[in-house]
Structure formats: C-alpha cells, structure tokens
Chains A and B, each alone.
Chain A
C-alpha cells in the first residue's frame, strides 16, 4: 500500500474542487452537485415535508452553496459544510412557513402538539409509510437529528457538527 495520508488526500480534493469552482470551472460545480444532490434532495424533502417543492429547495441550496463557496475555509470537509448550509436553509424555510401562517414564533426545540407523539404506543412493526409520517410529525430539531443519524447515516459527532453550527437553537 503506498504511504499516504487519507485525511490530507480528501482535504486536498475538497480544496481543489472549491478552487476550481471559484475559478469558474462549471464541471467542478457539477461534480459537487452530482456527488451530493440525491442525498440533500431527500434530506430537504423530509426535513421540510415538502416533496412537491423539493426540486426548488435543492436548487436553492446549491445556488446558496455557489454564492457562499468563498466562505469555505477548509476547516471541515466540503460535505459537512454543504450539509450545514442545507440544514440551515431547511430550518429557515420552516421558520418562514410558520411566520407566513401567522403562528407565534416558537423555539424549534419545543415539541409541537401532536396526537401521534404523546403517548407513544410501543410499536411492534413499523412500515415505511408510518415512519415517513412519524418523521414528518417530529419537531424540526428532532427531525433533523433523526434524519441525519438514522436515515443519512451520520455519526453522533457529525450530527452535532452539522446541526449545532447550522442553528443556534440547539
């Protein structure tokens, strides 16, 4: 096995991709999109419960990423940075939706009134539809944690890295 430092290798690859995007290389931005689009699409769709708007959400997330790529300093991986940005955007969308509906601003950590959530019967079997519904009924912060950890496969530390930095309500 050739001696190499995989941490530096990935770090270098991230920085190289960012530099190419900054330099106006369209194929580099497309590579970033192809690498993360599906996962972010599903995350955004489940996070906001807006499947019909998921395409627009995804476009917004990547447009934001393009605009903010100059702020990427390489302190975390590009993937983590992108998920943080996506999660932040999803939470903003949810907040705006609450505002538009004329509801009083409330902490996203505060559980919403939910007939499914309390009391929770012990489930003997869970099908996907039930689970999708249950995810949609979670308060946003809990939903974010569940989606990142259980659906997307992030470790606990990564969940904290993405979520804490993306919202100050955690």
Chain B
C-alpha cells in the first residue's frame, strides 16, 4: 500500500469502518511509514479534541423572545403526514435516523434494569437470610443452584442486549474511546472466563459465585456506560459524554 492509497482509506480507518482485510493492510503500512503513522495520530488527537470541545448554553431570554415571536405568527399550515409504518421500509443504515437509535438504546437500557430486578431481589434476600440466621427458611443446595443459574441467565441476557446495541454504533465511537472500551472488555471477559473456571472446579464456593457475579456486573456496568456515552454524544452533551468516558477509562 502506498501513502496515496492510505489517504483514501484514512478517515474510514480512524473511524474504525474498514473491513478487516483493508484494516490489516493499513496497519501494515503504518508500521513502516512514520509520516502516515503521525497523520493517524494527529487525526485521532483532533477527533478527541473535537469531542471534548466546550459546549455553550443559549441565553435563557432566547426562549422568552422566541415565545413572543411565535405568538404573533399564524398557526403553522398542516400537511398530511406519512404514517409510522412507512419508515419500516427504510433501514437504519440507509436512513441514518439517530434518534431511532437513541430510542432503542433507552428501551434496552430500561429492559436491562428491569431484567436485573430479580437478581437485585436475590441479593437482598440472601442478605436478609444471612442476618436472619439458620433458624429461618432452609435454602437447599439445589434451589441455590437454580437461583444462581437464573441469575446468571439474567446477567447474560443483559450483557447480550447491551452488547448488541453497543456493537451497532461502536463504529462511530472515537477510536480512542473504542480502544479503551475494547481493552476493558478484554480484561473483563478474561475475568469472567477465570471465574467460570473457578466455579466449575468449586461449584459450592460462595467466593467463586461472588467472583463470577462481580465480573458479570462489571461487564454490564461497562456496557451500560458505553451506551450512555454514545447517547450523550448523540444528544450533544459533551460534558456528560466526557464524564462517561472518564468512567469508562477507569
């Protein structure tokens, strides 16, 4: 690949939108070309700086003045509207309807929280059971195992849902953010894998169970933060997006 050929792919590369083969070609060129490598670094720096630019608020009087101006206007003319069903023929990729994505993300986040409610109850119940002592309800090993399996299923469902919506748009994440996200996901997946192995060798171990739940919780939190970050970016709330990125980086 020549520097000229890389130029054609540069923006897509920085945006993370290249096919794997093209991405490998670019990376091979970057390994041997300091100029192009510096250019990519600069683009990423500019992208990150753009993302963090200050966001100013309009003066409160604007709305007051606007209200007064609108009051003197005739009512807007009505026109027959397209029905919602008509949009179904248009894919998200074609239409680029970002508020649709926001709606989906919000809905899935809500569903995730709802899905985790039984698990929160389980934790609360276990805490109550622990403080109540052995004299109260006896919890059988089988019931705990079933409860654990159900709880893990909830987590996995939440993770899958969040992963799906995060994957839909991580291509538009700043490469720096995407890189941090990928790094953290790799670490957490490794922790989940190790916790599962520990639990498999010691199925009755509370520590092993807690370890797996902690790892799953961490992954849910990471994906939730990612979705929230993308939402804030889409809404244009740079300050909040910056805070989400800080959380993501921790």
Residue ranges of A at the interface with B (Cβ–Cβ < 8 Å)? 1, 4-15, 18-19, 21-22, 24, 26, 29-30, 33, 37-39, 41-42, 45, 51, 54-55, 58-59, 62-63, 66-80, 122-128, 131-132, 146, 150-158, 160-161
Check A42/B56 contact, CB under 8 A, given A55-B62, A63-B69, A153-B234: yes
Q: A22, A68, A76, A153: which contacts B95 (Cβ < 8 A)?
A: A76
Check A63/B66 contact, CB under 8 A, given A7-B88, A22-B78, A73-B79: yes
> Which of B44-52, B134-142, B180-188 makes up part of the contact surface?
B44-52
Interface assignment of B97: CB less than 8 Å from any CB of chain A: yes
Asked whether B104 lies within 8 Å of A70 as measured between CB atoms, the reply is no
Interface assignment of B38: CB less than 8 Å from any CB of chain A: yes
Task: Give the residues in chain A near B127, CB-CB below 8 Å.
Answer: none
Check A38/B57 contact, CB under 8 A, given A18-B81, A22-B75, A153-B172: yes
Task: Give the residues in chain B near A69, CB-CB below 8 Å.
Answer: 76
Closest to A125 in B: B45
Asked whether A127 lies within 8 Å of B66 as measured between CB atoms, the reply is no
Would you give 25 A-B contacts (Cβ < 8 Å), ordered by A?
Answer: A1-B115, A6-B107, A7-B97, A8-B88, A9-B103, A10-B102, A19-B81, A26-B67, A30-B67, A59-B62, A62-B66, A67-B73, A72-B81, A74-B83, A79-B99, A80-B96, A80-B98, A122-B38, A128-B54, A131-B50, A151-B51, A154-B96, A156-B17, A157-B95, A161-B95
Closest to A154 in B: B98
Residue ranges of B at the interface with A (Cβ–Cβ < 8 Å)? 15, 17, 35, 38-39, 42, 45-47, 49-59, 61-63, 65-67, 69-70, 73, 75-79, 81-88, 92-100, 102-104, 107-108, 111, 114-115, 161, 172, 233-237
A12 vs B83: C-alpha distance when bound (angstroms): 8
A26 vs B75: C-alpha distance when bound (angstroms): 11
Asked whether B58 lies within 8 Å of A71 as measured between CB atoms, the reply is no
Q: How far is the CB of B249 from chain A (nearest CB, A)?
A: 18
Asked whether A29 lies within 8 Å of B70 as measured between CB atoms, the reply is yes
Q: How far is the CB of B11 from chain A (nearest CB, A)?
A: 9
Asked whether B69 lies within 8 Å of A39 as measured between CB atoms, the reply is no
Asked whether A66 lies within 8 Å of B87 as measured between CB atoms, the reply is no
Q: How far is the CB of A147 from chain B (nearest CB, A)?
A: 9
Q: B66, B86, B96, B236: which contacts A33 (Cβ < 8 A)?
A: B66
Asked whether A6 lies within 8 Å of B235 as measured between CB atoms, the reply is no
Check A150/B46 contact, CB under 8 A, given A70-B76, A155-B98, A155-B172: yes
A157 vs B53: C-alpha distance when bound (angstroms): 23
Q: A70, A126, A128, A155: which contacts B96 (Cβ < 8 A)?
A: A155
Task: Give the residues in chain B near A4, CB-CB below 8 Å.
Answer: 107
